[in-house]
Structure 1
């Protein structure tokens, strides 16, 4: 889409992550570095057809619960269907639990997580712009999200997976996707389960992960 705005949506109805301000600041900076104008908001009224026409991508940054009224849902769905890019970060896996369209984009739902702890991430696609900078095994500390169904069953393109042997409390076993993307319903959808802590958004490796996700979602 020949547009240059990125809309970063931060509304929560439920648990609110302390990392949201740091994440919003990082995404604004990363957008600027990519030649995009990014702004963060928690106002659901911005989700209109006219506003979204200016967006190269929409980011759901750790949104939780039902954060869009029906007109906003309709506008966002129309945006995706005409080729828009949607980037969902961390707790956005727990957003819009009763909206089937978003569930189809995500491919699964948030089920829970063990306590914050270090572990290893395996890179499945070393050529994608969101993962090309990472080593094959990446040491990282986060909440290791579990999901209600295997994400790979939704025919998504898995980019990163957790190594459950390196931390305690995982429920998926050897195949535990953490980040994936796909083209769906005419648009592009990218999800990363990482990004729980404010410190994540200052880490060069994670910032590059988000920057690559923006590049892919905006077709740059």
Structure 2
């Protein structure tokens, strides 16, 4: 029986390597079994070439970091999205390829700094995006809360935010300092971009996140929308 769609999960790092990556891959495998889609996992950038990408509907960058692609691979990824397909970025996907402008716009914001792991209050901004329909309007979550650049596109649709009054935003990394993003601190969003679809969530730093149904539903909602363009409403 044909599966719903096919996802390429990519976890290459050239910098910080998250302990939670293997937990994330295992979680994606469980989601693939639960929701009847195909999945391949790779860390070799050469797999992201024009010919190989034809078989996939969505590429998932799971806690990737640093500069990892050559010019040919970048062109293949751009063409993949331009053909009407999808991208999902998880956690440090926003700390990847900072100098590739097309990619940073695909993600929507770039990572700047983060404070220590803490429990904070999250707010659901759009319950009609898939994976968030059963969540309360506000809930507590423990994670590593990224501070981001300003939004790089005007058409970003925000679905989760974090209340900075509920945790300490302070951090100091040499000359870099965290002061928070103010009254509106986005954590997850989606957009139509360059002919395709992009979903990003900053959650997922800790291995334990990938055992929690709240996060798995949020993650699958993003993967499903990015792969198919379908959701609770016509997004």
**Normalised TM-score (structure 2):** 0.89
The offset of 1:153, in angstroms, is 6.1
* Cα distance in 2 for residues equivalent to 1:148 and 1:102: 14
5+ unaligned residues in a row in structure 1: which ranges?
none
Which residue does the alignment assign to 1:25? 26
CA distance in 2: counterparts of 1:165 and 1:58, whole angstroms: 35
* 1:151-182 Cα deviation digits (max 9, x unpaired): 38633000000011100015111100100000
> Structure 1 residues 33, 3: CA separation in 2 closer, same or farther (over 3 Å shift)?
closer
Across the two proteins, how many residue pairs are aligned to each other? 218
Alpha-carbon deviation of 1:215? 1.1
Counterparts in 2 of 1:167-206, with a 5 A limit?
Answer: 167-169=167-169, 171-206=180-215
C-alpha contact 2:109 2:152 (8 A) present in aligned 1: no
Distance in 1 between the 2:134 and 2:50 partners?
35
Separation in structure 1 between the aligned mates of residue 159 and residue 40 of structure 2, nearest angstrom:
27
Q: CA offset at residue 41 of structure 1? A: 1.0
Matches within 5 A, 1:93-172: 93-149=94-150, 151=151, 154-169=154-169, 171-172=180-181
Structure of greater Rg: 2
Structure-1 separation of matches of 2:218 and 2:14: 27
Q: Distance in 1 between matches of 2:159 and 2:29?
A: 24
Alpha-carbon distance change, 3 to 30 in structure 1, aligned in 2, over 3 angstroms: closer
- 1:12 deviation in Å? 0.2
Distance of 1:152 and 1:63 partners within structure 2: 19
When the two chains are superposed, the root-mean-square deviation of aligned CA atoms in Å is 1.5
Once the two structures are TM-superposed, the CA of residue 80 in structure 1 deviates from its matched residue by: 0.1
Residues in 1 aligned to 2:17 and 2:23: alpha-carbon distance in whole angstroms: 13
Query: Judging changes above 3 Å, is the alpha-carbon distance between structure 1 residues 152 and 168 closer, same or farther for their aligned structure 2 residues?
Result: farther
**Deviations, residues 71-121 of structure 1 (Å, cap 9, x unaligned):** 111111000001010000000000011111101112221011110000010
Secondary structure of residue in 1 paired with 2:129: coil
| Corresponding residue number in structure 2 for 1:71 | 72
Give the secondary structure class of the aligned counterpart of 1:190: strand
**Unaligned ranges ≥5, structure 2:** 170-178, 231-235
Q: TM-score scaled by structure 1?
A: 0.95
Distance 1:124 1:9, change over 3 A: same
